Structure 1
């Protein structure tokens, strides 16, 4: 009778393999945790590596003998200068600066060349006179253009480069005979530096301003929702414990304050995002101006929520019984307001259309109804004035949220978000 041999694995060996796998997984957990908690630092390191790589690439021009002899030492430095000046942290900022530098260089160099040639045709004392008049007119007109808000916001750097290039080219034409050749070589170096910057910025771990403004906008909704819950919980927590000390919700307070000072950063990110090409979930004509409008409403909402913080100091007054009577409807209303904020933020995060009327509006109406019932209670006395201020602040938050919901709904329609 044939016998069958069944191999039996060594129990200790199997246990050792499992132990080895667990050890490997445990060893990876600090790395994963570090990456998740230090995303900004990693982005900065990547940016530094990209800038260093771009400088190495553009400096190699000096080691190509034929090319170096053609452009010369002075003109070769313009490529390095271009990389140093226009390479920014975000891809959109690099594109915007590069575009501004290119247009400013071409226009300034072209008009400066015309002024130099025209001055050379006149000759004698008329040559510096023609150049001087052209410098005065171009410099004054360009400086006036820099004072116009719309031009300053997007094209200030380009206008500044125009002034600089016009001056360099036109003044060089007073002494140099081969000004056309110098302008051509410098433009070639600038184009080369620009091309290296764009390729390095866009094709190697690009850092998109559009992703940052989108994600920061979503996080603001969550921060405001947590702030409403934090202030409300703190206000009524004192009611339940007479001996407890008032501890302000510092995190909620700071998140609202930081939001109030975020206007300049939001405007910069929106401006950079407009320059970025199609990528991922963002198209060429994404309505970035809507993000700016939503940011303004969020800042107004943050200021309104901060008014709740002033009610915490007045909550030490001996009105526990009256506050207890309004605790339940106020907490329910605050919960509805926080839910609305999170729902709006979630719709932007998942890029789905927010249907304000069937979902958001009924919840806000219910919150305002609860708060109105509280105001119709026993808050018309002098003792209840401080409590009435707290309730009124919540009602103002509900009013602001109605306008915010409409803005988010319009964003979904303009951006073509999914309906589901």
Structure 2
């Protein structure tokens, strides 16, 4: 009895002590005694250090990859460090202006806040910070009402047309409150306002000088490259989707990220998604680009950056059709492979011609070159017209011809309102041949409740045909099952795919119009004649310096 009682206690103890606790603290049972091996053993410490080392190595590798993918980020980090080092010398400036050294932290903070990745963002924040400080200092000398000034500045910041100056209003409120608080304590309102403005101006000047003078990064150029990249991405997606559709390649399992429209590593998906999702990035870059002075290839004052965004919007309008085409591949109902092969050549031609138009426009935007004298849409429009003609000729393949119902309504239902009252399941209808394709398939053999024959006059030189007699019997009506319904829907999916592709071609016209407007407004150069080698345009000091010091080709030396 005692042994049984002891075994029950041991079982209860094992149930109460978790296995994870035994592994961590080394709790085990030996002849009824519980022993602890310590909180941390050498193996667990070694395992934790190994995990930390793996995480550290992963961070280093990822940082190296980020630097390799975009070296500008490394240059920007070095530029910010240089600007901070230069402005920090104010700390040692004791004479002749001791207040500058005392309040040098404002200059350092200005460099940190103003120094942005692109030149346009730096100009925007620098100007907003300077105007906010200057206006706040002047207003602090005129009136002392923190509640009124703070409320009005916050309300103005929320005004839609002043959204671009939101940072300036924030600096204005901060500076005004700082001057009022420090001036009340020292009774030196003027000195505080002047010192703060001078230090902010000095910090902004150092930041602008370093950012513009050393490997400048322009937001306008980033916007230009982004628009060009979207052209090629949409073209690649279009060709890939058409090829996958014609080859009847289907997803075994549709990724949930694609269904939820999240980022996913799929070539067809990421191509058009990058164009659709670039709206906010384009607006941000455009907001910074309008602050940038003329530079490089963009020598025009008030460069039409909004037209770049307009062209990208027209491209996005086309990419919606590409997204819908991809949705046909992802859908549950798929068209039969034999029906796809009927229109394979025409679909392939439209896809190739459409992608060619997108790539041609992308190259024109990249080179900042106008279109030639030839119509860029001729080939794709001809391909789309041939596809439409093929659809018209083979229309009997795109519907379930067995369910066609062509008939004249009874005399009592000649009015349209009366026709709408008829029942679709009413078998008392007249039927006949609807098209030549139906006649060839002998699908017009309809049933009539009357025993008399109804003449049908065929057009286009065909002979007259008569519907056959049929005595109506309700039990001979066939109810369409689910298989027939699925078959009809699968065939109609090919109609949807073809219609979306033709709609994509129609939207290309709006894209070409937007590009022509951009080329005229931005004064793109004339197209280069075929066979003529275009010289690479070198812009900026660093571009000319690299062209001077780079090793020349042997053939160039011989020609020189």
Q: Report the alpha carbon displacement of residue 208 of structure 1 after superposing the two structures with TM.
A: 1.0
Question: Relative to structure 2, which stretch is displaced further, 368-377 or 324-333?
Answer: 368-377
1:417 aligns with 2:524: yes
Q: Report the alpha carbon displacement of residue 79 of structure 1 after superposing the two structures with TM.
A: 0.5
Q: Report the alpha carbon displacement of residue 113 of structure 1 after superposing the two structures with TM.
A: 1.7
Cα distance in structure 2, aligned partners of 1:314 and 1:166: 60
Matches within 5 A, 1:21-420: 40-67=69-96, 69-73=98-102, 75-115=103-143, 131-132=144-145, 135-152=146-163, 154-238=164-248, 250-283=266-299, 284-313=301-330, 317=334, 319-354=336-371, 358-376=374-392, 377-378=394-395, 379-381=398-400, 382=488, 383-420=490-527
Per-residue CA deviations over 1:325-352 (Å, capped at 9, x if unaligned) read: 1000010011111011011111111101
2:325·2:497 contact (CA, 8 Å) conserved in 1?
yes
2:368·2:525 contact (CA, 8 Å) conserved in 1?
yes
2:87·2:107 contact (CA, 8 Å) conserved in 1?
yes
Counterpart secondary structure, 1:282:
coil
RMSD: 2.4
2:121·2:288 contact (CA, 8 Å) conserved in 1?
yes
Q: Report the alpha carbon displacement of residue 61 of structure 1 after superposing the two structures with TM.
A: 1.0
TM-score (norm 2): 0.61
Q: Report the alpha carbon displacement of residue 257 of structure 1 after superposing the two structures with TM.
A: 1.9
Q: Which runs of 4+ in 1 moved over 6 A?
A: 244-249
Q: Which has the higher contact order (CA 8 A, sep 6+)?
A: 1
Counterpart secondary structure, 1:308:
helix
Cα distance in structure 1, aligned partners of 2:81 and 2:66: 25
Cα distance in structure 2, aligned partners of 1:262 and 1:222: 14
Cα distance in structure 2, aligned partners of 1:41 and 1:323: 43
1:226·1:252 contact (CA, 8 Å) conserved in 2?
yes
Q: Report the alpha carbon displacement of residue 322 of structure 1 after superposing the two structures with TM.
A: 1.5
Q: Report the alpha carbon displacement of residue 261 of structure 1 after superposing the two structures with TM.
A: 1.9
Q: Report the alpha carbon displacement of residue 291 of structure 1 after superposing the two structures with TM.
A: 1.5
Cα distance in structure 2, aligned partners of 1:101 and 1:70: 21
Counterpart secondary structure, 1:238:
coil
1:68·1:76 contact (CA, 8 Å) conserved in 2?
no
2:251·2:330 contact (CA, 8 Å) conserved in 1?
no
Going from structure 1 to structure 2, the CA distance change for 1:40 and 1:142 (only over 3 Å counts) comes to: farther
Cα distance in structure 1, aligned partners of 2:364 and 2:312: 15
Q: Report the alpha carbon displacement of residue 36 of structure 1 after superposing the two structures with TM.
A: 12
Per-residue CA deviations over 1:108-148 (Å, capped at 9, x if unaligned) read: 11111211xxxxxxxxxxxxxxx23xx33322222222222
Cα distance in structure 2, aligned partners of 1:315 and 1:419: 49
Which has the larger Rg? 2
Question: Relative to structure 2, which stretch is displaced further, 399-408 or 173-182?
Answer: 173-182
2:219·2:288 contact (CA, 8 Å) conserved in 1?
yes
| Gaps in structure 1 of 5+ consecutive residues | 1-34, 116-130
Counterpart secondary structure, 1:275:
coil
Cα distance in structure 1, aligned partners of 2:186 and 2:330: 75
Going from structure 1 to structure 2, the CA distance change for 1:66 and 1:317 (only over 3 Å counts) comes to: closer
Equivalent pairs, count: 362
- The aligned residue for residue 26 of structure 1 is none
Cα distance in structure 2, aligned partners of 1:317 and 1:415: 46
